C-alpha cells in the first residue's frame, strides 16, 4: 500500500496530524465522487479532509493555498489533455466493476510478529518525521523489500482469465507467512485482506473478492510485507490475456513514469521534482495523473513523512541520505477523479476509464536511489 498508495488526509506541522491513511470508497451502486471523504494514498484537498479513513494528507500549514492553486491548475490541464480520451471512452464497451463476495479474513500464525496497528480498526495515520536508517536498518529494509518483490512476482504469474482475485490474495498471504513475515495491509484500518487487487478502473485499494479476471483486464497488485519490524512496499500492473493496445500503452507509460522519477532521486534533490517528472511524461501521451493518492515514507512504520506528490507541485523538502520512501504514480485514460465504494476502500475512476499504477520502495544513497523492491 502502496501500501497502499494510500489516501491521505492532512498533516499539520504541529503534531495535529489527522489519520490520513485510510482509503475510502463508496459502493458502485452508491458510489459518489469523494465528497467529504478524503481519498489519497495520500493527499487531498479541503473537501477530502474529513474522511473517517485516515490516509495521508498533504496540506502543511500555510502552504495550503499554494497547494490548492497547484491542484486547481493541474485539474485544468487534466481537463484539456484528457478531452480526447474522454471522447474515445464513450465508444468502449466494457462492463463496470461491481463488488463481489469477500471471503473471511485469513489467519496469521501466532509466532509471526505483527505491526502494532493490527488489533485496532483505527488507521494509525502518517508518522511524523522521515524514515532514515543505519547500516542494520538498511539491511532489514533490503530484506523486506526483496521479499515483497518476490511475492509480487509470484502473484503476477497467477494473472490469467478465470482466476479470482480472492485466489491471488490467498496465494500472496501464504507466501508471506511461509517466509515468516506479516502481510501489512491485513487489519490496517480494518482492511480485510492481505493484498490490494485493483482491476481496470480501480485506481487503488481494491479488495480481493469472488470476481474472476476476464480476458482483456488489467490488474494492479499491491504487496506490502512486514519482516523483522520493517515494511517493504511495491506494486505493479499486469495484463490479463489479450489486452488492447491503448490499455497496454497506459500500463507502459505508467511504468516509465515511475522509473523516470526514480532516475532523478539523490541526496539533496527536491521532492517536487518527482511530480514534475511524472506529469511531464504522462502529458506527452495525454494520460491523467491521479492527485488524491500519494507516495510516502516507509520503514519501521507503514506510512510516514514525506508525502510524495505525483503531479506538478511547489512543495518543499529534499531527499536525505539513508532515507526510504515510495513512489507510486497512478495514471488514467480519462477522469482522474476517484469515487469511493461503500466498503470505504475501493477507489475507482469517476467515468469508468482504465487506471494503472506501479510502485517501488527506494533507499537514497550517495549514488542516487537504490530500488529495494526488485528481484
In a domain, 8, yes or no: no
Asked if residues 289 and 331 have their Cβ atoms less than 8 Å apart, the reply is yes
- The verdict on residue 149 lying in a domain is yes
Read off the pLDDT of residues 207-243 as tens digits, 9 standing for 90 and up: 999 999 999 999 999 999 999 999 999 999 999 999 9
Q: Please say whether the beta carbons of 148 and 216 come within 8 A.
A: no
Q: Could you say which DSSP state residue 318 is in? A: B
- Binding site for substrate, by residue number, is 205, 303
What number is the average pLDDT over the span 196-200?
98
Dihedral sign of CA atoms 279, 283, 285, 289 in order: positive
Cross-strand partners of 326: 361
pLDDT of residue 318: 98
Average pLDDT, the chain: 83
For residue 132, what pLDDT is reported?
97
User: Does residue 80 fall inside a structural domain?
Assistant: yes
> Is position 271 within any domain?
yes
8 Å CB contact between 294 and 309:
yes
Share above pLDDT 90 across residues of the chain, in percent, rounded to a whole number: 73
pLDDT at res. 88: 55
pLDDT tens digits for 330-353? 999 999 999 999 999 999 999 999
- 267 confidence band (pLDDT: 50, 70, 90): very high
Cell (9 digits) for 64: 495550503
Instruction: Look at residue 74 and tell me whether its pLDDT is greater than 90.
Output: no
- Flag whether pLDDT at 40 surpasses 50: no
User: CA 323 → CA 32, 188, 297, 308, distances in Å?
Assistant: 37, 23, 8, 13
Asked if pLDDT for residue 322 goes beyond 80, the answer is: yes
Phi and psi, residue 83, nearest 5°: -60, -45
Among positive and negative, which fits the CA dihedral 276, 35, 303, 69? positive
Q: What is the mean pLDDT of residues 58-66?
A: 39
Mean pLDDT lowest among 89-93, 155-159, 173-177, 285-289: 89-93
Provide the pLDDT for residue 56: 35
Q: Is residue 99 part of a domain?
A: no
Q: Which residues are annotated as a binding site?
A: 205, 222, 233, 296, 303, 328, 359
Instruction: Give pLDDT, residue 263.
Output: 98
Mean pLDDT value across residues 239-260: 98
pLDDT band at 53 (very low <50, low <70, confident <90, very high): very low
Number of folded domains in the chain? 1
The answer as to whether 98 is a domain residue is no
Looking at residue 124, what is its pLDDT? 81
pLDDT at residue 278 tops 90: yes
Distance, CA of 334 to CA of 352 (rounded, Å): 8
The residue range of the domain holding 86 is 32-92+122-371
12 belongs to a structural domain: no
Which residues does 46 contact at the CB level (< 8 Å), separation at least 6?
59, 68
- DSSP assignment of 267-302, as one string? TT-BTHHHHHHHHHHHHHTT-EE--SB-EEE-SSSS
**Average pLDDT, integer, range 117-136:** 89
Q: Is residue 97 part of a domain?
A: no
Task: Tell me what pLDDT residue 123 has.
Answer: 75
CATH number, domain containing residue 358: 3.90.230.10
Binding-site residues for a divalent metal cation, please? 222, 233, 296, 328, 359
Amino acid at each position: 500500500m502502496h501500501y497502499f498508495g494510500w489516501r491521505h488526509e492532512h498533516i499539520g506541522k504541529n503534531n495535529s496530524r489527522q489519520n490520513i491513511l485510510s482509503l475510502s470508497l463508496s459502493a458502485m451502486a452508491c458510489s459518489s465522487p469523494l465528497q467529504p471523504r478524503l481519498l489519497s494514498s495520500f493527499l487531498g484537498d479541503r473537501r477530502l479532509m474529513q474522511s473517517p479513513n485516515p490516509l495521508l494528507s498533504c496540506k502543511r500549514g500555510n502552504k495550503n493555498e499554494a497547494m490548492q492553486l497547484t491542484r486547481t491548475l493541474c485539474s485544468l490541464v487534466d481537463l484539456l489533455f484528457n478531452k480526447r480520451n474522454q471522447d474515445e471512452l464513450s465508444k468502449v464497451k466494457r462492463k463496470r466493476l461491481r463488488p463481489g463476495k469477500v471471503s473471511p479474513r485469513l489467519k496469521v500464525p501466532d509466532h509471526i510478529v505483527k505491526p502494532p496497528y493490527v488489533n485496532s480498526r483505527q488507521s494509525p495515520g502518517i508518522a511524523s518525521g522521515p524514515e532514515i536508517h543505519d547500516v542494520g536498518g538498511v539491511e532489514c529494509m533490503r530484506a523486506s523489500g526483496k521479499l515483497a518483490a518476490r511475492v509480487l512476482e509470484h502473484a503476477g504469474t497467477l494473472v490469467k482469465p478465470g482466476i479470482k482475485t480472492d485466489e491471488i490474495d490467498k496465494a500472496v498471504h501464504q507466501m508471506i507467512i511461509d517466509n515468516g513475515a506479516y502481510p501489512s495491509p491485513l487489519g490496517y484500518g480494518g482492511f480485510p485482506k492481505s493484498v490490494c487487487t485493483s482491476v481496470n478502473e480501480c485506481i487503488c485499494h481494491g479488495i480481493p473478492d469472488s470476481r474472476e479476471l476476464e480476458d482483456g483486464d488489467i490488474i494492479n497488485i499491491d504487496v506490502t510485507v512486514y519482516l523483522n519490524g520493517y515494511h517493504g512496499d511495491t506494486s505493479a500492473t499486469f495484463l490479463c490475456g489479450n489486452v488492447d493496445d491503448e490499455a497496454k500503452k497506459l500500463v507502459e507509460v505508467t511504468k516509465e513514469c515511475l522509473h523516470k522519477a526514480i532516475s532523478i532521486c539523490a541526496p539533496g534533490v527536491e521532492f517536487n521534482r518527482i511530480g514534475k517528472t511524472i506529469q511531464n511524461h504522462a502529458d506527452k501521451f495525454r494520460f491523467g495523473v491521479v492527485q488524491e493518492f500519494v507516495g510516502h515514507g516507509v520503514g519501521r512504520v507503514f506510512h510516514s513523512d514525506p508525502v510524495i506528490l505525483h503531479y506538478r507541485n511547489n512543495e518543499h523538502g529534499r531527499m536525505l541520505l539513508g532515507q526510504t520512501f515510495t513512489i507510486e504514480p497512478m495514471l488514467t485514460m480519462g477522469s482522474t477523479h476517484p469515487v469511493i465504494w461503500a466498503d470505504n476502500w475501493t477507489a475507482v475512476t469517476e467515468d469508468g476509464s482504465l487506471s494503472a499504477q506501479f510502485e517501488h520502495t527506494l533507499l537514497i544513497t550517495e549514488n542516487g536511489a537504490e530500488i529495494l523492491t526488485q528481484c
